[in-house]
Structure 1
Amino acid sequence: MSSHSHQNMHSRWSTAGLLITLGIIYGDIGTSPLYVMKSIIGEHNISAELILGGLSCIFWTLTLQTTLKYVIIVLNADNHGEGGIFSLYSLVKRTKIQWLIVPAIIGGSLLLAEGIITPPISVSSAVEGLLIFKPDIPTIPIVIGILFFLFTIQQFGAKIVTKFFSPVMLTWFSMLGILGILQITNNFEVLKAINPYYAFKLLTSDASGHGFFILGAVFLCTTGAESLYSDMGHCGRKNIRISWIFVKAMLLLNYFGQGAFLMQHDGQSLASLNANNPNPFYLIMADWFQPIGIVVATLAAIIASQALISGSFTLINEAMRLNFWPKVKINYPTDVKGQLYIPSINWLLFVGCVGIILYFKESKYMEHAYGLSIILGMMMTTTLLNFYLIMKRVKWYFIAPLIALYTTIEVSFLWANITKFMDGGYVTIVIAIFLICVMSTWYLAKKISKNYTKIVKIDDYKKVLAELSVDLSIPKYATHLVYMTNSNRSDEIEEKVMYSILQKRPKRADIYWFIHVSILSEPYKKEYRVTEIVKDDIYRVDFYLGFREATKINLMFKEVIKDMMKKGEVDITSRYESLSKNHIIGDFKFVLSEKFLSNDSDVTFFEKIVMNAYFIMKKFSLSEEKGFGLDSSSVKVEQFPLVLHAPEKIEMKRIEAH
């Protein structure tokens, strides 16, 4: 997709586009009314100060954090139409500031950790509505059953399901707004909460037993903002901005409606209003409507989970292209651009979700694990955003107050959420630390490996390759011999490639091909360049692929060959006399190299840990041939020792025999 068409997608909006946006983008943030007010009140008694202060905090959080930061400012930081922390990192990478990789890896890991906690908390909060009717109903098997169904259908692609998303989410948001309006009309006093004074008063007072730390519960109202940015490429900026006006209005009406209802029960606790399920979200519904409300809430929670699962697939795909994650199998279940399915990640997420459900059991305990990872992720985005604004030459007097404002807001949220660490916040942090270790190890190992790969000039080998090609004393290895190379320059090649051709076992071929794949900082691009090194003997093909494109080298290389034949640049007919007469195409043989850590390596303790962990992970990752999409019948994998810090030459003295 060209940058011009991306521009059009972001500047255009349509009714269909707005509906699709409702269905895809707002699942996470849209299901927050299921648990935010319940979390704010907790075990405390209801008071006007607590309700007005809590609502004021929600109103200003959604205004400053979600609307101003994400919908207005961050959505401008698109990488050829795509959003998300890795897209943002790909943009700021151009500043050549090395350490920016740290917030990118931390942010990406925290977003994945969010993908493990959001489905359980959303679906559990919805299903627990059934306790109103049957207090002893076991909700855990129901929640696990719903999630198992959701993760199972991923392999068929979200195309079938997404058709139902938009109408369900439109119904859900309309229901939120109507339920809120019905309650607000009974108590207009609740609208005073728009005044930030009430938020300030609550945060600086300990009279309610909450004070500043209520922000830990308030923060749950903005949890979907990060994934809203990640999904920008699916819907377009303008569709998100316009639909957010409706979504924000409906969310606020529902929060204020819950507040209006609760203010009529001053001095009481939530448990005294309904012992079975003390959730104000369900308490504001008429008795006859509650079963309908539970069904719609459960469907909305499923959609929220679906959005995060799809987002996790996209995130891992980008991480692989940026060398942050081991190669894993990717399926493309539909022809929808950007839609993919990663089996290993799908079932890893499912196991994580089941673990969360079995560990916490109820949604009220999951809330503790929720906010901490998300606020840390938002802080990583703010860090990268700062450098993006500098890169865009935005005036310092605009950047400074903006970054100061969000640093203050986010540090406050972090401080309030740290109190949840021992209550369960550590769970998502432990998951995120594990993911950070995987990403960092893979990236560092690739870097170490690259630093110790010896590169040679192709010019030094042109003559010998041309002679080898016609040396009949050596049996022919293949008509076309293809090597994958990591060398960025077209006049250079790894020494191990030449060693493989000339020394390991001399490999005579009619034509030698060197293929290099460059992953670009933009998401969608498929370009290639052919360099003729020696006519009819040595060629190099460079593929330039966007970081969201599938690496199908087999198919792409065939297209390149077809194009070159059409232009008369190469003759791929077999040079065996009998086959040549009958115009039979020659065989293609790919040679890939797999490294192992040489015993001759004189490595530091740190390098040893990184490289050993890398080789363990490599055993579980996709093989090189599958990673490049090659046909395994025409692939030869050779083992090469990776020598780090080659030991010094050993000085030896020969003594003559007597």
Structure 2
Amino acid sequence: MSNHKNLNTLSAGGLLVSLGIVYGDIGTSPIYTLKAIFNAAVTGGQAVDSNLVLGALSCIIWTLTLQTTVKYVVITLRADNKGEGGIFSLYSLVRKNAKWLVLPAVIGGCALLADGIITPSITVTSAIEGLKLKFPEVQVIPIVLAIITVLFVIQQFGTDLVGKLFGPVMFLWFGTLGVLGLYFVAQDLTILKALNPYYAINLLINNPLALLILGGVFLCTTGAEALYSDMGHCGRKNIRVSWIFVKLMLILNYLGQGVWALQHGNYDVHDNPFFKMMPEQYLLFLVGLATCAAVIASQAMITGSFTLISEAVRLNLWPKVRINYPSNQKGQIYVPSINWILWAGCIAIVLIFRSSSKMEGAYGLAINLTFLATTILIAAYMKRKKIPEYIIVIFLIVYGLLESTFLIGNMAKFFHGGWVTVMIGSLLFTVMWSWYVARKIKNRFVKYVEIEDYYQIINELSCDTSVPKYSSQLVYLTSANFKTEIESKIIYSIIQKEPKRADIYWLVHVDVVDEPFTRDYKVEFLIPGKLIRIDFKLGFRVEQRVNLLYRKVIEELVKNGEVDITSQYTSLNKHKIAGDFRFVLLEKHLSRFSKLSFYEQTIMDYYFVLKKLSLSEERSFGLDSSYVDVEKVPLIFVTPDDIEMNRLPV
């Protein structure tokens, strides 16, 4: 990932990288988009004639123009968060505007993940199906399952090596698309009439199957979201410039497929115009290239899902999960749990649907929700940037209408497989939503006390030799945002629940900020030499390894002579040996007496199930378990005043 300053540098290398990373999904859509449209028409009893072909192509060209070029390349790429893009980066830019914006962000994020399960399945299956033209007997499913499994297995080793090959392969892919299309367009220039939006409007108004056809048209833009989420990897300028080349090649290929369809009037549902265009002797080359492109498209999707989840974890929208950094390259992450969930999802989809034409129904419905969510968040961003109201209104009306129309078109797919993505998306939504709401409920019950009231007692406890020493340096993680406050349960842990004597008490607070890569800290000496508070401000892309960060700060403080961590035990002190450190983590559990509504109680029960499945606090903060004590505290203390009792006379 580049830094903010590289966002606008344009380079040949950068252009090549963006071809490899950004355009996999949208670049492989010519394999199945027109096939899906023609299948919908033929199944509905329509012939593939010039009206249908010109109308469908016109819809595709204008969808790519309005949806991908105008909305994403021109408008959305401006909303960068210190050079980072993607729906959660966008959300962290606008979340201060209004509380409810978390809803579109969560829906959009879940829909993206749900679609991520279908992308590898449909692209790899469509590509391998090309083999049937040459070897009609070939078994497609086992090959697809093998490719998908290998793809997910190699994730853990980092994709550094493969990444270097992606750019040139995709350049070859787009070049092939363009040349192939051009060869057919040259045979019939009347196909260029499709550039006129009149044909698109005509199809939408006069064709009874318009909505079904739109469901197919939508497939041409399914990768648009990736242009935005990969901004951090490639830079805005590289994406904008490479898109010109990509869009030209895509449109040429679609037009070429249109010419092929018009030349072969009796269109057969089992045909795929994409592979049929290729002369017989080069077919295997095209299938091979399409498979490589499909794998690259899937890779981009998987990487995108990892980034999405790691941001969601930091923004407290997803349970804490293990995140690995397989290579030294910045931005290379691997999330094992998500990797295997995606893998299982892909395998299930391939086994349920068994052919790409059946998957088309499941594809697109979810991503449509992501588009709508992005539209809402971008409008909020425009408002924050003080863009004139009327422009925001026009933007909302144009894209609201466009995407709602697509949504209605895609709804027709619900019973043809669309329910699968909706189901997966809904499942992911319950996880994100419960995690988010449970945190809000928990915060309601956290009681803060003024820390100053306890200065004297802490000071005295630290010097009281009648209390056995618990540790030389005692560290608590606090969620109090102000240095004047502290959770009552921390005070309870230090003073009442097994009084803990220490030379120095540390309070550590981690604040996740809206910039991606911030790493700042400040130190406050509350009781000089006895009680010290460290505040970390970390970006939502930074690993929260509290243990390492804390040690680094201690080293600085010791070096500057601001703090003395030498052991106070006489024998160790004279040899200048550093004292021991201990972290105490307070884990909340829900006591049975809590007064919560049914909805909140359900959310909390679900939350504790998720918490059991996710990483423990100590692992997620990178604390080494050898010097961590976990104390269980009830989330809600029951106050005795709630209980009425009668004392009976003796």
* TM-score tier (shorter): over 0.9
What's the CA shift for 1:599? 1.9
Superposed, 1:227-242 pairs within 5 Å as 227-242=226-241
* Secondary structure, aligned partner of 2:402: helix
Judge conservation of contact 1:59–1:194 (CA < 8 Å) in 2.
yes
Judge conservation of contact 1:602–1:645 (CA < 8 Å) in 2.
no
**Structure 2: stretches of 5+ with no match in the other structure:** none
* Secondary structure, aligned partner of 2:503: strand
Judge conservation of contact 2:379–2:392 (CA < 8 Å) in 1.
yes
* Secondary structure, aligned partner of 1:204: helix
What's the CA shift for 1:651? 3.0
User: Which of the residues 333, 339, 362 maps onto 1:346?
Assistant: 339
What's the CA shift for 1:600? 2.3
Relative to structure 1, is the Cα distance of residues 647 and 216 closer, same or farther in structure 2, using a 3 angstrom cutoff? Answer: farther
Rounded to whole Å, the distance in 2 between the matches of 1:466 and 1:645 is 30
* Secondary structure, aligned partner of 1:365: helix
Rounded to whole Å, the distance in 2 between the matches of 1:38 and 1:129 is 12
Superposed, 1:535-614 pairs within 5 Å as 535-614=528-607
The answer to whether structure 1 residue 29 and structure 2 residue 31 are counterparts is no
The answer to whether structure 1 residue 70 and structure 2 residue 72 are counterparts is yes
The answer to whether structure 1 residue 501 and structure 2 residue 498 are counterparts is no
Deviations 1:434-455 (A, max 9, x none): 1111001001111101110111
What's the CA shift for 1:549? 0.5
Deviations 1:401-439 (A, max 9, x none): 222111111111111111111111111001111111100
User: Which of the residues 468, 493, 498 maps onto 2:461?
Assistant: 468
1:274 corresponds to: none
* Secondary structure, aligned partner of 1:506: coil
Rounded to whole Å, the distance in 1 between the matches of 2:640 and 2:605 is 19
What's the CA shift for 1:210? 2.6
Rounded to whole Å, the distance in 2 between the matches of 1:648 and 1:263 is 83
Rounded to whole Å, the distance in 2 between the matches of 1:637 and 1:79 is 36
Match of 2:13, as an amino acid? A
Relative to structure 1, is the Cα distance of residues 646 and 605 closer, same or farther in structure 2, using a 3 angstrom cutoff? Answer: farther
Relative to structure 1, is the Cα distance of residues 578 and 645 closer, same or farther in structure 2, using a 3 angstrom cutoff? Answer: closer
Rounded to whole Å, the distance in 2 between the matches of 1:298 and 1:118 is 13
2:181 corresponds to: 180
* Secondary structure, aligned partner of 1:393: coil
Judge conservation of contact 1:600–1:646 (CA < 8 Å) in 2.
no
What's the CA shift for 1:558? 0.7
TM-score by length of 2: 0.98
What's the CA shift for 1:646? 5.5
Rounded to whole Å, the distance in 2 between the matches of 1:522 and 1:137 is 51
Rounded to whole Å, the distance in 2 between the matches of 1:146 and 1:512 is 54
1:383 corresponds to: 376
* Secondary structure, aligned partner of 2:206: coil
Superposed, 1:132-211 pairs within 5 Å as 132-206=133-207, 210-211=209-210
Rounded to whole Å, the distance in 2 between the matches of 1:41 and 1:548 is 43
1:449 corresponds to: 442
Rounded to whole Å, the distance in 2 between the matches of 1:645 and 1:174 is 70
Match of 1:512, as an amino acid? Y
Deviations 1:138-182 (A, max 9, x none): 111111110111101100111111011011100100000010011
What's the CA shift for 1:518? 0.2
Rounded to whole Å, the distance in 1 between the matches of 2:346 and 2:30 is 21
Match of 1:398, as an amino acid? I
* Secondary structure, aligned partner of 2:245: helix
Superposed, 1:178-577 pairs within 5 Å as 178-206=179-207, 210-266=209-265, 268-271=266-269, 278-577=271-570
* Secondary structure, aligned partner of 1:94: coil
Judge conservation of contact 2:584–2:630 (CA < 8 Å) in 1.
yes
Judge conservation of contact 1:600–1:647 (CA < 8 Å) in 2.
no
Deviations 1:615-644 (A, max 9, x none): 011110000100000010000001111117
Deviations 1:188-223 (A, max 9, x none): 1111100111111111123xx533431110010000
Deviations 1:12-44 (A, max 9, x none): 110000000001000000000000010110035
What's the CA shift for 1:11? 2.0
What's the CA shift for 1:343? 0.4
TM-score by length of 1: 0.96
Match of 1:34, as an amino acid? I
Judge conservation of contact 2:211–2:412 (CA < 8 Å) in 1.
no
Deviations 1:90-133 (A, max 9, x none): 111121x1111110110010011011010000000001011112
Match of 2:258, as an amino acid? G
Rounded to whole Å, the distance in 2 between the matches of 1:582 and 1:288 is 81
Rounded to whole Å, the distance in 2 between the matches of 1:483 and 1:113 is 38
Rounded to whole Å, the distance in 2 between the matches of 1:463 and 1:510 is 14
1:60 corresponds to: 62
* Secondary structure, aligned partner of 1:31: helix
Rounded to whole Å, the distance in 2 between the matches of 1:29 and 1:428 is 19
Rounded to whole Å, the distance in 2 between the matches of 1:231 and 1:270 is 38
1:39 corresponds to: 36
Judge conservation of contact 1:110–1:374 (CA < 8 Å) in 2.
yes
Match of 1:458, as an amino acid? I
Match of 2:199, as an amino acid? Y
Deviations 1:571-604 (A, max 9, x none): 1111101101001110000000111101221221
Rounded to whole Å, the distance in 2 between the matches of 1:396 and 1:356 is 44
Judge conservation of contact 2:115–2:364 (CA < 8 Å) in 1.
no
Judge conservation of contact 2:261–2:267 (CA < 8 Å) in 1.
no
Relative to structure 1, is the Cα distance of residues 222 and 490 closer, same or farther in structure 2, using a 3 angstrom cutoff? Answer: same
2:11 corresponds to: 14
Match of 2:6, as an amino acid? M
Rounded to whole Å, the distance in 1 between the matches of 2:646 and 2:434 is 42
- Which is worse superposed, 490-499 or 36-45? 36-45
1:104 corresponds to: 105
The answer to whether structure 1 residue 627 and structure 2 residue 620 are counterparts is yes
Judge conservation of contact 1:593–1:639 (CA < 8 Å) in 2.
yes
Match of 1:336, as an amino acid? Q
Rounded to whole Å, the distance in 2 between the matches of 1:45 and 1:347 is 43
- How well do the aligned residues superpose, as a CA RMSD in angstroms? 1.3
Judge conservation of contact 1:23–1:162 (CA < 8 Å) in 2.
yes
* Secondary structure, aligned partner of 2:363: helix
Rounded to whole Å, the distance in 2 between the matches of 1:99 and 1:137 is 51
Rounded to whole Å, the distance in 1 between the matches of 2:127 and 2:274 is 10
Judge conservation of contact 1:531–1:541 (CA < 8 Å) in 2.
yes
* Secondary structure, aligned partner of 1:270: coil
Rounded to whole Å, the distance in 2 between the matches of 1:652 and 1:483 is 38
Rounded to whole Å, the distance in 1 between the matches of 2:640 and 2:474 is 33
